[in-house]
Structure 1
Amino acid sequence: MRTTTRLRQLLAGPDMLIAPGAYDGITARLIEQAGYSAAYMTGAGTAASFGLPDYGLLTMTEMVGNAARMTAAMKLPLIADGDTGYGNELNVVRTVQEHERAGTAGIHIEDQVSPKRCGHLEGKELISIEDYVAKIRAAVATRRDPDFVIIARSDARSVAGFDEAVKRVNAALEAGADIGFVESPQSIEEVRLVPQQVKGPCLLNAVWRGKTPQVDMRDAQAMGYRLTILPGMLLKTVYGACDAALASLKEHHRHPTPLFDSDVKDGFRRFGADDWDALRTRFRDPAAEAAE
């Protein structure tokens, strides 16, 4: 089954889909091994993996390249940050084409100007609603796989207010988007209102210490959300673990005990070493292969 079709099935299922944020092949594979059904490619995490802030500094090619590495590392559907589409509606056409080639199951496209800023920072600027809807129409018309999911994200809440954000997302849904994403509702009441006022399935973005208050995933499902992404969860965990290990080395002059305390072979097993070892045996011993 294509990952796009699987993503559609999950979104139509009885439970809200939870997609933890990944930023490379390691985190993508760990999400799969932890038993989740989908992963989200965080734009902020991808930028951080280049040593950069989430200021719209990466190109479409760099973002899609990261998505391709992640889809190759796991079998789960990958939802990716498509930023602004990297230009006008013509650039959106190419963004959708390249993400489909990379094996991405869906992307979200937002209504900020380029270069964009993280949705939970100040200083964002918006394009017109007419220009934004044109981008969504372009994305919908371009996809070859009808199951490829187009998510319409509006950052208008922090710039022009809650009502304007809902208006923009609804216009995008009317233009053919599959899911509405009102970025950074700023109270529990606003979080609750999004699924009530948005005329389609809704995405909740759970950002630690961001503009949106923390919500229990069970409560989000009860409110009517169909998808929750947690972009920075693993990235911030890595920050803390790395800071602690580096400080321990500096203080104690010995290799710190890792949180994942295993030998070298067990570490490689997390990334398919047993399968690769079996392939080597197969190619070196044709008799063993014939006996299978």
Structure 2
Amino acid sequence: MSESRAHRTRRRLREALTEDRLLMLPGAFNPLSARLIQAKGFDGVYVSGAVMSAELGLPDIGLTTLTEVTSRAREVVRITDLPVLVDADTGFGEVVNLGRTVQLLEEAGVAAFHVEDQVNPKRCGHLDGKQVVDLDTAVRRVAACVNARQDPATVIVARTDVRALEGASAATERAKALVDAGADVIFPEALVSLEEYGAVRAAVDVPILANVTEFGKNRLFTAAELRSVGVDLAIYPVSLLRLAMGVAEVALDLLHAEGTLESVVPHMQTRARLYEVLGYDVWRRFDNSVHDFKLDS
């Protein structure tokens, strides 16, 4: 039996994680932006819970549902050939619910997902006032994901938010326990220095992930800086949404004040480029193949 497209993508991600380089995964705020991420040559696409919440006009406190997240994941997977990493928050329920979460995410075709050790309701990883579950519960969450996984190539990323509450050394110790539970990648959230990333790197023998987010607890480390301390993946979860919304605000103010957007047309994506990203030509050829035919006499 031939390998599924999803399995091939997962294997490709695992192989890329063995290479001596930083994988960069910008966050897609809709399927179209995922297509653009691929066109620009990035290593993968990230589907952020914070972005999904924002799209729905909701704060990032665990209000999105498993159905909403898997639906968006499926839409993004369909539009790109890149590996897709999805934010699964705390698993959408208790430990027992993680089995269903993993099942649906794998069925959606994602290459990887991350589950975290915050309590419900969770909050953005760079906000104050977070709480985390005890170590045993955190370990059981990861173990549940491992046990529920149907495709061994699916990459399970364990996120820990303990740094903000108990310090960097606690994050390192928890990271080791999550690796022992079967995590394929460690995501230590809201570390504040390159040295802290280096400490986690030295403590575990699996790849580590850095969240590069604007207005967060740390400065915006460059790709070269992150790689210098052994970081293997970097996600840029909300960057494209923030840029799009920032430009949209400027344009709306301009339209309200001047009654026209003519002055900012040069900054817009052209119709031709939009059609190129959308793949209009592919659909045109498909349409012609259906209509341009002759019946045998």
1:285: which partner in 2? 292
1:155-190 CA distances to partner (integer Å, 9 max, x unpaired)? 001112222222112111011110111100123332
If the length of structure 1 is used for normalisation, what is the TM-score? 0.94
CA distance in 1, matches of 2:192, 2:144: 30
1:107-127 CA distances to partner (integer Å, 9 max, x unpaired)? 011000112101000111111
2:201: which partner in 1? 195
1:165 and 2:171 aligned: yes
Q: Secondary structure at the match of 2:27?
A: strand
Whether contact under 8 Å (1:82, 1:107) holds in the other structure is yes
Deviation at 1:192, TM superposition (A): 3.0
1:260: which partner in 2? 268
Deviation at 1:142, TM superposition (A): 1.1
Amino acid at match of 1:271: L
Aligned counterparts, 1:67-106, within 5 A:
67-106=73-112
CA distance in 2, matches of 1:81, 1:276: 32
1:124: which partner in 2? 130
Deviation at 1:60, TM superposition (A): 1.1
Deviation at 1:77, TM superposition (A): 0.6
1:128-171 CA distances to partner (integer Å, 9 max, x unpaired)? 11011111111011111111000011000111222222211211
Moved over 6 A (4+): none
If the length of structure 2 is used for normalisation, what is the TM-score? 0.93
1:212: which partner in 2? 218
Aligned counterparts, 1:30-109, within 5 A:
30-109=36-115
1:270 and 2:277 aligned: yes
Whether contact under 8 Å (1:108, 1:152) holds in the other structure is yes
1:21 and 2:27 aligned: yes
Amino acid at match of 1:262: T
1:225: which partner in 2? 231
1:185: which partner in 2? 191
CA distance in 1, matches of 2:133, 2:67: 23
Deviation at 1:261, TM superposition (A): 4.2
1:11: which partner in 2? 17
Whether contact under 8 Å (2:194, 2:226) holds in the other structure is no
Amino acid at match of 1:81: D
The answer to which of 190-199 and 127-136 deviates more is 190-199
Deviation at 1:51, TM superposition (A): 1.0
Could you say what the CA RMSD is over the residues aligned between the two structures, in angstroms? 1.7
Identity percentage of aligned residues: 36
What are structure 2's unaligned runs of at least 5 residues?
Answer: none
Whether contact under 8 Å (2:117, 2:160) holds in the other structure is yes
1:169-214 CA distances to partner (integer Å, 9 max, x unpaired)? 2111011110111100123332332212334211111011201222
What are structure 1's unaligned runs of at least 5 residues?
Answer: none
The answer to which of 184-193 and 172-181 deviates more is 184-193
**Residues 13 and 287 of structure 1: CA distance in aligned 2, closer, same or farther (over 3 Å):** farther
Amino acid at match of 1:218: A
